[in-house]
């Protein structure tokens, strides 16, 4: 595989961009390879600057649920550009978008748009603190909620593979109000809340953990969180930046039928543009300025290009057939990998919810961050490299999800499984 142009660009990039990338996981550091520089993408395929073609399972880390460069979204965005790209004033599109989100996500009564998932979670937490008048925050080990200070404590994603349990620059003050508990351990949450509930403003969770691989909630875990927080007045926040519009049109809350007080959205909701959103109970949301006193703002929030892309996408996703197909494709992918691993005699765990899945290189069940970390990352690295050389673009870390899109065909999946057979046998 010739990647000389990527290698050359990576050299140049490192001179002027820290690590050569604008987000750390892109650097391929955890698999010890040169990152590919991408020239273009269409449907299920992505193309690097040397002209190599790959079947893509990164999906820009989640947003590309219809595949890349979707024609309908592109046409809508081109038309919207003619009217201007940002006004810093309210638009009809924002009303339409808010109505679409309120319609789609069962627990959201009011919603505010922001420009990234990080902004959505950061704002939701400030709001929960302002609303309750309490300061502490409960999160779960291995859950990633963006890179704002109080959330960068035992987070997953890039923080895991870089081995940074915390980040320098996050003050003790910011971190000390964050309490980390093991994922799927309801007893630990109940004990803490019984002891400390006067101080705890919010419990934030990825309802399916998607930044430590993919870890679904155990039966009753989310419902248990709902019950205990309701009893003691904590705001329950579902960070559905990955799961929102991914595991179903109503997200994980609809999938598991557990309703949080606040929901954070991102990734898919922007149709490939930088968007996030947070919403939920009207009485909580009305604590934000200008109705309430909790401050939150954004110059490009709700800008017409992103709203157009997002609305066009949501309109397509409204059709339940899209999710039925995504689930079928996800099953073909995950089941295929499972049989390829069995054939090769490789011990692995497989988790999947719809189009979201992960293969962990460990022989023990994965149910939280500690069990996920037992995975053999060197083995993952060798697997990743072999897959890439065979034209399959996976996320360059054991602790990330694979995403199939509506553009992946059965042929794409079968070619991928064939490559996995070769890769797994070579380990
Ligand atoms: C990606 C992600 C975020 C952060 O979103 P950005 O748009 O990268 O700021 C927050 N929460 C979860 C669950 C995510 O996967």
Domain boundaries, the chain: 4-69+320-426, 71-317
Catalytic residue among 56, 239, 261, 368: 239
Query: Could you tell me the maximum CA-CA distance found in the chain, to the nearest angstrom?
Result: 61
What is the whole-number distance in angstroms between the Cα of residue 278 and the centre of ligand 1? 12
Q: Which atom of ligand 1 is nearest to the CA of 119?
A: 9
Which residues surround ligand 1 with Cβ inside 6 Å?
116-118, 121, 144-146, 206, 210-211, 239, 241-242, 266, 276
Query: Best of 211, 353, 401 to mutate for ligand 1, by most ligand atoms within 8 A of CB?
Result: 211
Q: Which atom of ligand 1 is nearest to the CA of 118?
A: 9
H or E segment and range at residue 304: helix 304-317
Torsion-angle region of 73 (φ positive above 0: left; ψ -120 to 50: alpha; else: beta): alpha
* Cβ-based neighbour number of residue 82 at 10 Å: 7
Atom 6 (ligand 1) nearest CA: 117
Catalytic residue among 144, 249, 255, 256: 144
CATH of 71-317, one of 3.40.47.10, 3.40.640.10, 3.40.50.1220, 1.10.10.10: 3.40.640.10
What ranges make up the beta strands (E) of 43-144? Answer: 45-48, 53-56, 110-114, 136-140
Q: Which atom of ligand 1 is nearest to the CA of 146?
A: 4
DSSP label at residue 30: G
Q: How far apart are CA 139 and CA 225, in angstroms?
A: 12
What order do you get walking across the sheet with 38-42 strand by strand?
A: 38-42, 45-48, 53-56, 392-393
Q: Which two tokens stand for residue 251?
A: 């997200």
Q: How many helices (H) and strands (E) does the chain have?
A: 15, 14
Beta strands 402-403; 356-360: pairing state? antiparallel
SS3 category, 125: helix
Q: Nearest to residue 158, comparing CAs of 150, 149, 167?
A: 167
What is the whole-number distance in angstroms between the Cα of residue 144 and the centre of ligand 1? 7
| CATH no. for 4-69+320-426 | 3.90.1150.10
SS3 category, 389: helix
Q: Is 56 in contact with 393 (CB distance < 8 Å)?
A: yes
Q: Is 144 a catalytic residue?
A: yes
pTM: 0.96
Q: For the chain, 427 residues long, give each residue's pLDDT as a single digit of tens.
A: 899 999 999 999 999 999 999 999 999 988 889 999 999 999 999 999 999 999 999 999 999 999 999 999 999 999 999 999 999 999 999 999 999 999 999 999 999 999 999 999 999 999 999 999 999 999 999 999 999 888 887 655 555 444 444 678 887 777 788 888 999 999 999 999 999 989 999 999 999 999 999 999 999 999 999 999 999 999 999 999 999 999 999 999 999 999 999 999 999 999 999 999 999 999 999 999 999 999 999 999 999 999 999 999 999 999 999 999 999 999 999 999 999 999 999 999 999 999 999 999 999 999 999 999 999 999 999 999 999 999 999 999 999 999 999 999 999 999 999 999 999 999 9
H or E segment and range at residue 392: strand 392-393
SS3 category, 393: strand
Q: Is 368 in contact with 399 (CB distance < 8 Å)?
A: no
Query: Best of 121, 217, 275 to mutate for ligand 1, by most ligand atoms within 8 A of CB?
Result: 121
SS3 category, 204: strand
Catalytic residue among 110, 136, 267, 373: 267
Query: Best of 151, 240, 242, 403 to mutate for ligand 1, by most ligand atoms within 8 A of CB?
Result: 242
């Amino acid at each position: 595989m010739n990647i000389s142009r990527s290698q050359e660009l990576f050299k140049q990039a490192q001179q002027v961009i820290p690590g050569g990338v604008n987000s750390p996981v892109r650097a391929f550091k955890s698999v010890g390879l040169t990152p590919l520089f991408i020239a273009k993408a269409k449907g299920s395929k992505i193309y690097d600057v040397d002209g190599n073609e790959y079947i893509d399972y990164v999906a820009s880390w989640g947003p590309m649920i219809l595949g890349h460069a979707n024609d309908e979204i592109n046409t809508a965005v081109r038309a919207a550009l003619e009217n201007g790209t940002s006004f810093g004033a309210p638009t009809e599109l924002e009303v339409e978008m808010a109505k679409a989100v309120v319609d789609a996500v069962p627990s959201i009564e009011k919603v505010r748009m922001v420009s990234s998932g990080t902004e959505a979670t950061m704002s939701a937490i400030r709001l929960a603190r302002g609303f309750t008048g309490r300061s502490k925050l409960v999160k779960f080990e291995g859950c990633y909620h963006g890179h704002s200070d109080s959330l960068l404590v035992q987070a997953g994603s890039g923080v895991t593979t870089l081995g940074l349990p915390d980040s320098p620059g996050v003050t003790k003050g910011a971190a000390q109000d964050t309490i980390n508990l093991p994922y799927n351990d309801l007893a630990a949450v109940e004990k803490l809340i019984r002891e400390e509930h006067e101080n705890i403003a919010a419990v934030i969770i990825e309802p399916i953990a998607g930044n430590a691989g993919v870890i679904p909630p155990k039966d009753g875990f989310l419902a248990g969180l709902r019950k205990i927080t309701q009893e003691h007045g904590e705001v329950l926040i579902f960070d559905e930046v990955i799961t929102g519009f991914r595991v179903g049109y109503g997200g994980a809350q609809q999938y598991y039928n557990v309703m949080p007080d606040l929901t954070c959205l991102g990734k898919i909701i922007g149709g490939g543009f930088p968007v996030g959103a947070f919403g939920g109970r009207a009485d909580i949301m009305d604590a934000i300025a200008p109705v309430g006193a909790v401050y939150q703002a954004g110059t490009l929030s709700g800008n017409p290009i992103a709203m157009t892309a997002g609305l066009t996408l949501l309109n397509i996703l409204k059709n339940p057939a899209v999710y039925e197909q995504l689930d079928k494709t996800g099953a073909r992918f995950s089941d295929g990998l499972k049989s390829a691993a069995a054939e090769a005699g490789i011990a692995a765990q497989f988790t999947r919810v719809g189009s979201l899945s992960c293969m962990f290189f460990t022989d023990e069940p994965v149910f939280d961050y500690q069990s996920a970390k037992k995975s053999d990352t060197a083995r993952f690295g060798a697997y990743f490299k072999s897959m890439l050389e065979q034209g399959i673009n996976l996320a360059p870390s054991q602790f990330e999800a694979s995403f199939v899109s509506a553009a992946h065909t059965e042929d794409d999946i079968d070619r991928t499984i064939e490559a996995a057979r070769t890769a797994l046998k070579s380990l």
